[in-house]
């Protein structure tokens, strides 16, 4: 991540911490995001954790629980990952369309590159490239391979009612939050 982008994200976190100094959040996805962020350096890992906290605070006052904590949703995590991960791991409309098609075709059934490629009429190489962001964002998981040497995958089902049901809804919500953004204005 570039130093300018990192600096802006640190400033954003500082502003949000100043606005909500005594609020606590709970991230139930922290364990599952370990695999996603293992290649980030320590500073980016800390920044990602702070961004999930900040985005949860901005989005979540309807999600306060009994312990006066706000619980993160998958959308909060996706937004933080979009801001911190390298460009090749960021979600695009094409990635989410593939996720929607795979969800409709395979539902809870495991699949590999060959079966997915034949159903989607897409090459294995293209699918590998499209799967990287989906795996990083927790929308597809790679299963421990039991059949020969083929990699098996499974679509992740989002079951909580506060969560979004389709990848298209995730993308629309994510984009909607930035729809009215016109840039930084000098005062």
Summarised one tens digit per residue, pLDDT across range 75-96 is 787 778 778 877 777 788 888 8
Percent of the chain with pLDDT over 70: 73
Q: How confident is the model at residue 61 (pLDDT cuts 50, 70, 90)?
A: low
Three-class DSSP labels, 10-69: HHHHHHHHHHCCCCEEECCCCCCCHHHHCCCCHHHHHHHHHHHHHHHHHHCHHHECCCCE
Helix (H) or strand (E) holding 152: strand 152-155
pLDDT, one tens digit per residue, over 94-128 is 888 888 888 889 888 888 888 889 998 988 888 88
Long-range contacts of 33-39 (CB under 8 A, 24+ apart): 33/77, 33/81, 33/138, 36/81, 36/85, 36/135, 36/136, 36/137, 36/138
Q: How confident is the prediction for the chain on average, in pLDDT?
A: 77
pLDDT, one tens digit per residue, over 127-137 is 888 888 888 87
Residue 70 pairs in a beta bridge with 25, 64
Domains along the chain?
A: 3-85 (no CATH), 93-155 (1.10.10.10)
User: Which pTM does this prediction carry?
Assistant: 0.56
Rg (CA), the chain: 18
Residue, of 143 and 157, whose pLDDT is higher: 143
pLDDT of residue 165: 47
Percent of the chain with pLDDT over 90: 0
Total Cβ atoms within 10 A of residue 167: 26
Name the DSSP letter for residue 166: S
Instruction: Name, of 25-29, 107-111, 168-172, the range with top average pLDDT.
Output: 107-111
């Amino acid at each position: 991540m570039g130093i300018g982008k990192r600096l802006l994200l640190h400033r954003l976190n500082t502003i949000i911490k100043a606005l909500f100094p005594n609020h606590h959040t709970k991230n139930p996805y922290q364990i599952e995001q370990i695999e996603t962020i293992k290649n980030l350096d320590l500073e980016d890992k800390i920044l990602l954790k702070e961004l999930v906290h900040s985005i949860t605070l901005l989005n979540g006052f309807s999600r306060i629980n009994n312990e006066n904590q706000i619980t993160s949703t998958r959308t909060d995590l996706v937004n933080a990952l979009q801001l911190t991960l390298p460009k090749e791991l960021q979600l695009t409309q094409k990635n989410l369309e593939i996720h929607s098609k795979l969800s409709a075709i395979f539902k809870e059934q495991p699949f590999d590159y060959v079966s997915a490629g034949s159903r989607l009429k897409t090459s294995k190489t293209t699918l590998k490239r499209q799967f990287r962001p989906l795996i990083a964002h927790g929308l597809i998981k790679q299963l421990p391979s039991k059949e020969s040497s083929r990699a098996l995958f499974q679509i992740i089902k989002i079951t909580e009612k506060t969560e979004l049901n389709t990848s298209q809804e995730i993308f629309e919500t994510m984009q909607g939050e930035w729809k009215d953004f016109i840039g930084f204005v000098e005062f």
